[in-house]
Structure 1
Amino acid sequence: MRFKRIFLIVLDSLGMGSARDAADFGDSGADTWGHIAERNPNMKVPNLQALGMANLKELTGILPVERPMGYFLRLNEASRGKDTMTGHWEMMGLRTEKPFITFTEHGFPKELIRELEERTGHRVIGNKAASGTEILDELAEEQIRDGSMIVYTSADSVLQICGHEDDRIFGLQELYRCCEIAREITMRDEWRVGRVIARPYVGMRRGEFKRTANRHDLAVKPFGRTVLNALKDAGFDMISIGKINDIFVGEGVTRAIHSVSSVNGMEQTIEEAGTDDFTGLCFVNLVDFDALWGHRRDPKGYAEEIERFDRKLGELLPRLGEQDLLILTADHGNDPTYSGTDHTREQVPMLAYGKGLAGGLLPEQESFAVIGATIAENFGVAMPEGTIGASLLGRLQ
C-alpha cells in the first residue's frame, strides 16, 4: 500500500472540452471549463492553477505554471451516456452500454402517471421537463391549495417530485413515501429511469419558494460489483460525502456524510483530512456546479462556484499527510453557455496530488475507470469481475 488515504473529489459536471464522440450526443463544441473561463477572464483559481489545471488546458486569464504540483491528464468516457451515475459508476469500474431512458420531449407516459396517482393518492401536476426553481413558481401555489403532487423531469434520466416540507401541506415523510413508490414503478424496463429525486421546498407564494437540503436520491443499484465493494470487503474504509451514497445506493459505503452544499462538502472533506482515523477512500461529490449553475446556464455563477471550491482546496491541501493522495475529476460536462439544459458529452480532467510526487502531464486515457483501478491497486484489492480499468499507480512517482 503506497497511500494510506485517498481523497477522490468529483467536481460534478466540470468537463474540459468536447469528447471525440460528442457529435453523437449533439454536443459538438461543448467546453464547460473553457467557456466559463472565456466568459469570466478575471476568475482566480490559484490552487487549481498550482496543481496544473492550466497546463492541461488553455484557459482564458489563467496561466500555466512552470512547475505544477500535481499530475494531470484527460479522461474519455467509455460508457454510452453523459449522466451522473454513468460517470461515477465508470470511475469505479462499470462500463454502461445502454443509456438510461429520458422523458424530456413529452413527459412521462400516461400509464405511469396514472399508476403513480392511484398508489400515492395524489393528483399529479406538471409532468414535463422543467427547471426545478421555475416549476415551483409555476405550480407550488396549486399544490399548497389542493395537496397535488408536482412531478417533472430534466434532461437527465430522472423523475423528480416536489413536496412542501410542512406536514399540513404535503410533508417530508409523505414526499419520501411517494418517491419510494415512484422508484418501484420506474424499475420496469419500459420506464426505467436512473434516479427518482425527492425535491422538498419551503415558502408560501411565488418568488419565495426555496428548495431545501433534504433532497433524497433513489438511484438504480449498480448492475455489478465495483471497486467500492472490493474495498469494503477487504476491510478498508469507504467514506462518502455528498450524493455518493445515493449514486451507489450504499453499495461499498462504510460511512455516509450528507452535505447541504458543495462548500459544506469541502468543509466536511477538510475535517476528514484533519483526522487520522481511517484507512481507505474518501469519495466526494460536489453537486452545486451542476445543479445550481450548469443546468441553469449561468456561467458567472459557475465561475464563482469554482472560485469558492478553489479557496476550500487551499484549506485542504495543507491538511493532507505524507501518505495521502488527492484526485480531482468530473463525471461529465454541463457547459453553461451551451443550448438547452442538458449535460454535455466531454472529456474530463484528472489531477493527482501527493506530497513528494513529481507532477507533470500523463497520457490521455480511454476510460474514467483508471481512477478506480488506481485506487484498487494502491490498496492491494482485485478489480471485481466484469469491471474495466488500468491502474496509473506506477506513474505516480
Structure 2
Amino acid sequence: MGSCYVIVIDGLGVGAQEDAGDYGDEEENTLGHVCEQTSCRLPNLERLGLGNIIPVASVPVVSNPLCAHGKMREQSVGKDSTTGHWEMAGIHLNRPFPTYPDGFPEDIIQQFCGGIGVERVLVNESYSGTEVIRDYGEEHLRTGYPIVYTSADSVFQVAAHVDVTPVEKLYEWCAFARDRLMTGEHGVGRVIARPFEGPPGAFERLSEQRHDFSIAPPEQNILGKLREGGVKTYAIGKIVDLFSERYFTQYRRTRHNAEGISQLLSLMSAISDSFVFVNLIDTDQKYGHRLDAEGYAQSLQEFDRAVPAIISKVQDDDLLVITGDHGNDPTNDSTDHSREFVPVLVFPGSCAEQLNLGTRETFSDIACTIADFFGLSADFHGKSMLMKE
C-alpha cells in the first residue's frame, strides 16, 4: 500500500482566485510576486514542475517535470489556515470563522476576566504579536493583567510573561476561553496561548511553548476515515492544533521549518503504510505577516534544498503531495492572508490522472486523493487526482 505524505507550505498562494475581490485581494500573487521581487531561485521545485503552474519570473517551465502539477481553488468561505487545512481534509465551511478587527465585545472580556480571576486585561485590539509585547509587556509586568489581542485571523490570543503567569496557568486560561467563551457565534478558529520572557526592551516570545486551542472539526473528514480504516496518522508542525489534537497516532510540534523538515525525514525512514500531514509555517508566520519578501524567499529556498532528500525517501509505492493553504503576499501593504489559488504537486507524476492537473475545483481533491490511495470509500466534495485503474 505505501505511505502518503502531504506537505503544506503555509501561506503559499499562486494568484488571486476569481472571488478575491470580495476579500480585497484581487492583486495578490504570493509566489509570483516574491520571485519577481527577489529573484528567488528554486531549482529543485523547478524540476518538480512548480514553474509550470503559473508564470514565475525565476522558476521557468520545464519540459519533463517530475510531478503532476496544477493549482487548487478554495471553496470554503475564508482564507485562514484552519479553513484551508479543513477543506484539504474534506470539510467545507459555508461561513467564515468570526474575526474582531475592533477587539472583542465587552461582555466576552468581562466573562474572561471573571472566569480567570483578574480585574481587567490589556489591549483588546488587533495587534502584531511582537509589537504588542513590546508596547504592553512592561505594563503587564507591573500589573499582572494578561494581554488579550487578535489579528486579521480568527484568533483570541493571550500573552503573558512566564515570570508573572506560569505557562500551565496561561494554558488553563486559554482552555477556559476556548471551552466557555469562544463558542457559537464567537467560535473563533483558534485560541492561542502566547508566553514570553525576558526584561523590558528585550522581550522574546517562547514559540516552542505557544499552544493553539482550535475549534473541534466536524467528524466527517479524511482523518477520521483513516482512523476508521486502521491507517496510522502522523502530524508535524501546527497540524495537530488545527485539528484539535484529534485523529493522530503521533504528533510532533515544531519551532521552525528546519525542525519540521528534520522530523519529516526521520519519520519517512521509520514508518510504512501510514499518512503524514506536515505544515511548514515559517513562510507565513515569520515572513508573510511581517511583509518580509526576502525572508519569505529564503524560507522557500530552505525547503527547496530539502526537496532532493525528501524525494529520495519516497518509496515506489508511496505518494507525496506538496501544496499551500492560502496566500500571504509579503510584497503588498497588508499583513493579512490573501484569497489565492494554491499550488499542488503530486509525486511521482506517473501516478496522477494526467501530468497537467489544471485548476482543481476544491482543496478537498486532496482528501479524495488520500482516500483513493488507501482504498477507502469517501463521499467528500471533490475528485481524486490519481490515475484510474
Tell me if TM exceeds 0.5.
yes
Identity, % of aligned pairs? 38
Question: Do the aligned partners of 1:261 and 1:286 also contact (CA within 8 Å) in 2?
Answer: yes
Q: Structure 1 stretch 338-347 or stretch 173-182: which is displaced more?
A: 338-347
- RMSD of aligned residue pairs (Cα, Å): 1.6
Q: What are the ranges of 5 or more consecutive residues in structure 2 without an aligned counterpart?
A: none
**1:162 equivalenced with 2:155 (yes/no):** no
Q: Structure 1 stretch 124-133 or stretch 330-339: which is displaced more?
A: 330-339
- In structure 1, how many angstroms separate the alpha carbons of the residues matched to 2:181 and 2:65? 47
State which of 104, 107, 110 in structure 1 corresponds to 2:106.
110
**1:267 equivalenced with 2:265 (yes/no):** no
Aligned to 2:29: 31
Aligned to 2:319: 325
Q: Secondary structure at the match of 2:343?
A: strand
**Matched AA of 2:173:** C
**1:233 equivalenced with 2:228 (yes/no):** yes
Name the TM-score, length of structure 1 as normaliser: 0.94
Aligned to 1:303: 297
**1:7 equivalenced with 2:9 (yes/no):** no
Aligned to 2:117: 121
State which of 356, 381, 384 in structure 2 corresponds to 1:388.
381
1:125-180 C-alpha deviation (Å, 9 max, x unpaired): 011111110111001111122211011100000001112223xx111101101101
Question: Do the aligned partners of 1:92 and 1:228 also contact (CA within 8 Å) in 2?
Answer: yes
**Matched AA of 2:266:** E
**1:189 equivalenced with 2:220 (yes/no):** no
- Which contiguous aligned blocks of 4+ residues in structure 1 show a shift greater than 4 angstroms? 355-359
Aligned to 1:70: 67
Aligned to 1:40: 38
- In structure 2, how many angstroms separate the alpha carbons of the residues matched to 1:24 and 1:356? 38
Q: Secondary structure at the match of 2:12?
A: coil
- In structure 1, how many angstroms separate the alpha carbons of the residues matched to 2:158 and 2:85? 23
**Matched AA of 1:108:** F
1:320-349 C-alpha deviation (Å, 9 max, x unpaired): 211111100011111112232211000000
Question: Do the aligned partners of 2:349 and 2:355 also contact (CA within 8 Å) in 1?
Answer: no
Aligned to 2:285: 291
Q: Structure 1 stretch 204-213 or stretch 283-292: which is displaced more?
A: 204-213
1:208 CA drift (Å): 3.9
State which of 230, 235, 240 in structure 2 corresponds to 1:245.
240
**Matched AA of 1:388:** H
State which of 89, 92, 95 in structure 2 corresponds to 1:92.
89
Aligned to 1:334: 328
Aligned to 1:56: 53
- In structure 1, how many angstroms separate the alpha carbons of the residues matched to 2:134 and 2:204? 7
1:229-258 C-alpha deviation (Å, 9 max, x unpaired): 011111101101111111111332111111
- In structure 1, how many angstroms separate the alpha carbons of the residues matched to 2:6 and 2:138? 41
Name the TM-score, length of structure 2 as normaliser: 0.96
State which of 168, 188, 209 in structure 2 corresponds to 1:214.
209
Aligned to 1:79: 76
Aligned to 2:272: 278
- In structure 1, how many angstroms separate the alpha carbons of the residues matched to 2:376 and 2:32? 37
Q: Secondary structure at the match of 1:213?
A: helix
State which of 363, 366, 369 in structure 2 corresponds to 1:374.
369
Question: Do the aligned partners of 1:137 and 1:209 also contact (CA within 8 Å) in 2?
Answer: no
Question: Do the aligned partners of 2:361 and 2:382 also contact (CA within 8 Å) in 1?
Answer: no
